[in-house]
Structure 1
């Protein structure tokens, strides 16, 4: 891109879905910082320093949320949000694996329902990533 084409790049408007993604990041980011122990089991076993990673992802979510809301930072925050959503996908897979093991062990309706819910959540990452890319102007 030339400098003249960069000046013509417009910021995507703050649509309902982008505002919703910001709200989701805000809620999740605050929860990561207030109750990190909830998220520690979701950090894949191969990664060290679980608590620090939970805090870092919470801060990243809050930064993305704020960035998505402001027109001057929305494009960059959209890219950062898409990267963050891809980066946390292994944690969502780990959550499903944990609940799957628990459902196998307990064989209760509640444990099976929780496992089903975590599985259903995985494909929902795609529309979130799509919304982040929309905020990035893609």
Structure 2
């Protein structure tokens, strides 16, 4: 496993575990129109752990890269919602805005892993 894959696997694994160990943090960024935030917190945690597992296994790595890229794109609306929610809080807004461009290298790395997989 190369460094990029190891880092992406670790990020997804840690984030997935965090969804279960600190669900309130993630519940707070689920847009209300999606309904039960805890459902989405746990569902995205399962998806992250699943993607980490797919990336860790050489035989499923290509699919894991595609799935991880799709997941990173899929959770982007929650990051936008967080910016809107934190708009009147200068510190919260700055943190939320700083997170937005961080999705780009995560999508890129996931797609690159898929492209490089054997």
Task: Give the C-alpha shift of residue 80 in structure 1.
Answer: 0.5
Instruction: Report the Cα distance in structure 1 between the residues aligned to 2:3 and 2:86, rounded to whole angstroms.
Output: 32
What per-residue deviation string (whole Å, max 9, x for no partner) do you get for residues 23-43 of structure 1? Answer: 111111001012211111211
TM-align CA RMSD: 1.3
Residues 32-111 of structure 1: pairs in structure 2 closer than 5 A: 32-101=19-88, 103=89
Task: Give the C-alpha shift of residue 135 in structure 1.
Answer: 1.3
Equivalent residues of 2:29, 2:78 under 8 A apart: yes
With the length of structure 1 as denominator, give the TM-score of the two structures: 0.79
Q: Does 1:129 align with 2:107?
A: yes
What per-residue deviation string (whole Å, max 9, x for no partner) do you get for residues 45-68 of structure 1? Answer: 210121111101001100111111
Q: Does 1:18 align with 2:41?
A: no
Aligned length: 116
- Unaligned 5+ runs, structure 1: 1-13, 104-111
Which residue does the alignment assign to 1:108? Answer: none
- Unaligned 5+ runs, structure 2: none
Instruction: Report the Cα distance in structure 2 between the residues aligned to 1:136 and 1:44, rounded to whole angstroms.
Output: 30
Larger Rg belongs to: 1
Instruction: Report the Cα distance in structure 1 between the residues aligned to 2:34 and 2:53, rounded to whole angstroms.
Output: 27
Instruction: Report the Cα distance in structure 2 between the residues aligned to 1:51 and 1:113, rounded to whole angstroms.
Output: 25
With the length of structure 2 as denominator, give the TM-score of the two structures: 0.91
SS at 2:105 equivalent: helix
